[in-house]
Amino acid sequence: MRHSKIFKGLGVLAALALLATGCSSTPDKTDEVAAEGLGTASTEVAQAAKDFQGTFTYWIGLTFPESSNDLEAARIKAWGDNLGIKTEVIKVNQNEVVQQASGAIEAKSLPTAMTVPYDLMSTMATGGQLSPVPDAYTAVGEAHGGWLDSIDAATKAKSFGDKIYGVPFGFFGNVLFSRADLLKEKGFDSPPKTWDELLAQSKATQDPPTTYGMGFALSNVLDGNLTTSMMQSFGGRVADDAGKQCTINSPETASFLTWIKGAFDDGQFPPSAVTWDGAGDNNSYTSGQSIFIVNTGSVYQSMKTDDPDLAAASAYSALPAGPAAQVAPVDPRYRVVPTSTSDAGKILAQDLFESLADDTYMASFMENATYGPVLKSQLEYPVFTDSPVHAGLLEQADKGTAPAFPDTANAAYSDYQNAFSTPRMVQRVVVDNISIDKAMAEAQASCQTIYSQHAG
pLDDT digits (tens, 9 = 90+) for 77-105: 999 999 999 999 999 987 788 889 999 99
State pLDDT tens for residues 122-131: 999 989 999 9
Handedness of CA 340, 342, 343, 345 (dihedral sign): negative
More confident residue, 440 or 25: 440
pLDDT over 70 (residue 16):
no
User: Which of these, 153, 29, 71, 77, lies nearest to 371 by C-alpha position?
Assistant: 71
pLDDT over 90 (residue 455):
no
pLDDT over 80 (residue 25):
no
SS3 76: helix
Asked whether the domain spanning 175-327+419-452 has the same topology as the one spanning 4-171+332-399, the reply is yes
Domain residue spans in the chain? Answer: 4-171+332-399, 175-327+419-452
pLDDT over 50 (residue 3):
no
Cα separation, 372 vs 396, whole angstroms: 8
What local confidence, expressed as pLDDT, does residue 397 receive? 86
pLDDT over 70 (residue 365):
yes
What local confidence, expressed as pLDDT, does residue 456 receive? 65
What single letter denotes the amino acid at residue 415? Answer: D
**Summary count for the chain: helices (H), strands (E):** 22, 10
State the CATH class of domain 4-171+332-399.
Answer: alpha beta
Mean per-residue pLDDT for 287-311? 92
pTM: 0.78
Fold of the 175-327+419-452 domain: D-Maltodextrin-Binding Protein; domain 2 (3.40.190)
Distances (CA, A) of 49 to 31, 71, 121: 22, 23, 26
CB-based contacts of 396, cutoff 8 Å, min separation 6: 173, 175, 318, 328, 330, 372
